[in-house]
Amino acid sequence: MNDTPGWASPGSAPSDGQEAGASGPAEPADRPGSSDQPGTDPQGPGSKWSKEQPPPAQWSAPTGPANPGQTPPPPPPGPGWGSGWGGPPPAAKPGVIPLRPLGVGEILDGAVSTMRTYWRTVLGISLGVAVITQIVVILLEGLVLNDANTAALDDPSASVDELTRALGDAMLSTGVVFLISLIGTIVATALLTTVTSRAVLGKSVTTGEAWRDARPQVAKLFGLIFLLILIAVAVVAVGALPGILAVVAGAGDGGAALAVLGSLATGVVALWLMVRFSLASPALMLEKQSILKSLSRSAKLVRGSWWRVFGIQLLATLIANIVASIVVLPFAFIASALDGEGFTGLMNSGSDLGWTYLIVSGIGSVIGAMITFPITAGVTVLLYIDQRIRREALDLELARAAGIQDSGTGTAGPTPGG
């Protein structure tokens, strides 16, 4: 059998059909141990070998290839590859996330790392927006909204007109508070989007710099949020409209049931649309897009990843609100205990909320907002960046923007949770 090139060992026998010495110097016929006859004296007459031979263990292996023209074996892998084939080197990480497709845990950790690393700017923005928002809410609730007559909601003998007026007042109060909170959320999101995007590159930003960068897009961001709310309300209203018309026509309980079923069905459609457009806010802020183009960009980035985007945002929202509730609920109990009405008065929708309750519970709401604002905004921005990395190789541009040399290597590592 012929020897495989490159695998011949020193001192191996010649190949079949090949004469000795064809691939190297010829061995002397009278070399010790080379006689074919048993009992032949290796030191007999005519021997050309010295009597003093080194023991076999002291023969050194040749330094070159066994046969001329054969390819030497490949060198071992260089450093950085681990033992054997361990995979490519890790991705570059100039900031709070590695520059490659991200897993769920890495997105959540990136949002928390942004809070921890740039806590002065992040908490400063969140605290400022939350304090201003809560002051406005407290003043409205204490001076205006407390005058709303909602006692009829707890009165079983109230007439339909009284219940209608009370329900309208309650919805007005809730809507005003929601609107003010929404405005605060929009401003915080605009500023924190800039902070998080810089944190990805490992660069800090002050509150003033964040405001100067976000200010040209804030008006568009307001328009975007209100357009999304209008879309969601319109979709749900279309589903409830047949049932409402049936109630007006005298269908009674059947019409009411139809309105509820229609609202639930179109509510699912509204949820699908809101997730599809959920990345429009960072697209508008970071790409300086218009409102309609940012909606189109979000739809393109979410396409094919709806469930993943929905799951990550739902998880982030649950975590942020659970943590915030741990802070807010004790303040609500303390506020109700200090207030003259007590906690039972708080549960009574017809009772007025005292200033003590409003101020103490407002402090808890400020602390809760300082937690929810950075987490929800940070996760949305990092999810937007992750989708662009997966679809548009944004990691290469981010590496160059961060000043990393040889940005084309090591950025396509494994994708945990992808």
User: Phi and psi dihedrals of 413, rounded to 5?
Assistant: -75, -170
Quick one: tokens of 11?
């001192």
Is pLDDT at 149 greater than 90 in this prediction? no
| Angstrom distance (rounded) from CA 94 to CA 97 | 8
Q: Comparing C-alpha atoms, which of 373, 342, 348, 337 is closest to residue 114? A: 373
The pLDDT value given to residue 344: 55
Quick: pLDDT tens for 313-356: 999 999 988 988 898 888 888 888 887 655 555 555 445 567 88
Quick: pLDDT tens for 245-266: 887 777 767 777 888 898 899 9
| Contact status, residue 353 vs residue 144, Cβ threshold 8 Å | no
Helix H or strand E encompassing 298: helix 291-302
The pLDDT value given to residue 162: 63
The pLDDT value given to residue 55: 52
| Contact status, residue 129 vs residue 373, Cβ threshold 8 Å | yes
| Contact status, residue 399 vs residue 167, Cβ threshold 8 Å | no
pLDDT band at 138 (very low <50, low <70, confident <90, very high): confident
Quick one: tokens of 97?
């996330």
More confident residue, 147 or 324: 324
Q: Would you call 169 exposed, middle or buried from its count of C-beta atoms within 10 A (0-12, 13-18, 19+)?
A: middle
Among the residue ranges 61-75, 174-188, 270-284, 351-365, the one predicted with the least confidence is 61-75
| Angstrom distance (rounded) from CA 190 to CA 215 | 8
Is pLDDT at 284 greater than 90 in this prediction? yes
| Angstrom distance (rounded) from CA 101 to CA 107 | 10
Q: Summarize the confidence of residues 214-232 as an average pLDDT.
A: 92
The pLDDT value given to residue 324: 87
Q: Summarize the confidence of residues 171-189 as an average pLDDT.
A: 81
The pLDDT value given to residue 304: 93
Among the residue ranges 15-19, 274-278, 358-362, the one predicted with the least confidence is 15-19
What is the DSSP secondary-structure string of 371-417? HHHHHHHHHHHHHHHHHHHHHH-HHHHHHHHTT-SSTTSS-S---TT
Quick: pLDDT tens for 183-205: 888 888 889 999 999 999 999 88
Q: Summarize the confidence of residues 377-382 as an average pLDDT.
A: 93
| Contact status, residue 345 vs residue 351, Cβ threshold 8 Å | yes
Give, to the nearest 10 degrees, the angle between helix 119-143 and helix 355-392.
Answer: 140
The pLDDT value given to residue 220: 93
What is the DSSP secondary-structure string of 215-258? HHHHHHHHHHHHHHHHHHHHHHHHHHHHHHHHHHTT-THHHHHH
Contacts of 141 (CB under 8 A, 6+ apart): 173, 177, 353, 358
pLDDT band at 49 (very low <50, low <70, confident <90, very high): very low
Q: Summarize the confidence of residues 91-102 as an average pLDDT.
A: 90
More confident residue, 347 or 299: 299
Among the residue ranges 42-51, 86-95, 282-291, the one predicted with the least confidence is 42-51
In terms of average pLDDT, the best of 52-61, 133-142, 404-413 is: 133-142
Write the DSSP symbol of residue 57: G
Quick: pLDDT tens for 3-40: 433 333 333 344 444 444 444 444 444 444 444 444 44
More confident residue, 18 or 273: 273
Is pLDDT at 389 greater than 90 in this prediction? yes
